[in-house]
Amino acid sequence: MRTKHFLKVTLALAATVAGLCLNPAQAKDGNATAAEATAMVKKGVVYLKANGKDKTYAAISDKHGQFIDRDLYLVAYGMDGTAYAHDANEKMIGKNLIDLKDIDGKPFVKERIDLAQAKGSFWQDYKFTNPTNKKIEPKSMYCERVDDVVLCGGVYK
């Protein structure tokens, strides 16, 4: 009983922190900020711990859910590079993307998994298609490892 109460309080706190981390100068129709990306990933970590993998993957992959905001969305990977959830591109879900490279040839999923094994939480730079304008742009992705799952959310520059 206490654990459920603790998790509810933690979720409420995470939602509050996510709201407080918003950059007031950032218009809601503009690009997400690094603080918003960090807050979104932390919100996803709390959600994962409270609700388990299946419910979290479904919530992340919901195009109208709580884990998408303008150009900011979450993805979840297994430690082998398999995408378990991807809010911007459902075609990636269930695929092992370990060999996926950006336009410059950078194996960003492999690098992400290597960083998750070494650091647990980190920022990573690469290039990816911005879902709001369909252009390939530089992106910084914030990631956190939770057991055998890596949750990430990023900002386009």
What dotted CATH number matches 2-156? 3.30.450.20
**Domain assignments of the chain as residue spans, ordered by start:** 2-156
What's the first-to-final CA gap in the chain, in angstroms?
44
Which pLDDT value is given to residue 55? 98
pLDDT digits (tens, 9 = 90+) for 111-135: 999 999 999 999 999 999 888 899 9
Which of 2-6, 37-41, 117-121 shows the lowest mean pLDDT across its residues? 2-6
Mean predicted confidence (pLDDT) in 51-66: 95
Alpha carbon separation from 20 to 71, 113, 156 (Å, rounded): 19, 30, 21
In the chain, the amino acid numbered 119 is K
pLDDT digits (tens, 9 = 90+) for 65-118: 999 999 899 999 999 999 999 987 889 999 999 999 999 999 999 999 999 999
Which of 30, 16, 4, 69 has the alpha carbon at shortest distance from 157? 30
pLDDT above 50: residue 140: yes
Which pLDDT value is given to residue 29? 59
